Structure 1
């Protein structure tokens, strides 16, 4: 991926685009297996219907350059806040503002739904992600816990008030 590959596009994936989501998610899990709660084995075990169902219950944004998907982020909501999840950008596309555009899309989606805040969890030691989120106004809440029950990896929560 070179400097002249074109503009970065951001779009929300629809359930019929499950294969796009599956592809980018598998690339993310292969690239950064310790950054996510889900394992590659769990993702590979999902059926096409499972992938469609995920896209029905959350907003999943994809970043593209030309026809290549180079990043993704998901966002869900609960009673008062949104939760940013599954953020990933292809290493070849990093440093081009892709993550900033994905965060802006997720936060914009939360604002449109009247959420009071956006929360996210960062795996401890992922300083690049922490710096990115701080740059967008997210601050640590003090909540900390395992990535998954019984998992030795720890994560901490950050929040952006809207």
Structure 2
């Protein structure tokens, strides 16, 4: 895959169907790595999807009209800075640099907004995700929690100082 053909774009609320499509695919592909479930996402209404897009910057990577990944950046009013969320890359685009482009989009967006740090969580066992975030300057904070209540998988917090 040629990275020069990859388009990273910020979704508007009117593109809620794109976000829904990519998010449902992500939750079906790797449910163990997300705090929400496919069943929960499938019952969300158009208004829910639009509201989600109004609360965050949601980027989508695509090429030739096919969505290859997504990531979000959301202000964190409790802790300050930006929370990187909903990161996912389609299986056919993994290992191609698409993930790097998506992470860079959130870091650049956060810096342009004057934020000084970006936080995220990644699920235990997701070695590729941790390597990706380490490559972009994130470090573990020592904080961990359950990915979802009632599930045994832990997630670990990382932070990147801008």
Distance 1:6 1:110 in 2: 23
Which residue matches 2:119? 119
Q: Match for 2:75 among 74, 77, 83? A: 77
Deviant stretches of 4+, over 4 Å: none
Residues 59 and 76, structure 1, Cα contact 8 Å, conserved in 2: yes
Which residue matches 2:109? 109
Which residue matches 1:59? 57
CA deviation profile, 1:8-30 (whole Å, cap 9, x unmatched): 00000000000000000011011
Change (3 A) 1:4 1:60: closer
How many correspondences in the alignment? Answer: 160
User: Quick check: 1:30 aligned with 2:17?
Assistant: no
- Give, in angstroms, the shift of residue 158 of structure 1: 0.5
- Give, in angstroms, the shift of residue 86 of structure 1: 0.6
Secondary structure in 1 aligned to 2:141? strand
Change (3 A) 1:159 1:4: closer
Residues 121 and 155, structure 1, Cα contact 8 Å, conserved in 2: yes
Distance 2:4 2:26 in 1: 22
Residues 5 and 63, structure 2, Cα contact 8 Å, conserved in 1: yes
Q: Normalized against structure 2, the TM-score is what?
A: 0.95
Change (3 A) 1:73 1:100: same
Which residue matches 2:150? 150
Residues 3 and 97, structure 2, Cα contact 8 Å, conserved in 1: no
CA RMSD of aligned residues (A): 1.3
Structure 2 portions without partners, runs of 5+:
none
Q: Normalized against structure 1, the TM-score is what?
A: 0.95
Which residue matches 1:17? 15
- Give, in angstroms, the shift of residue 101 of structure 1: 0.6
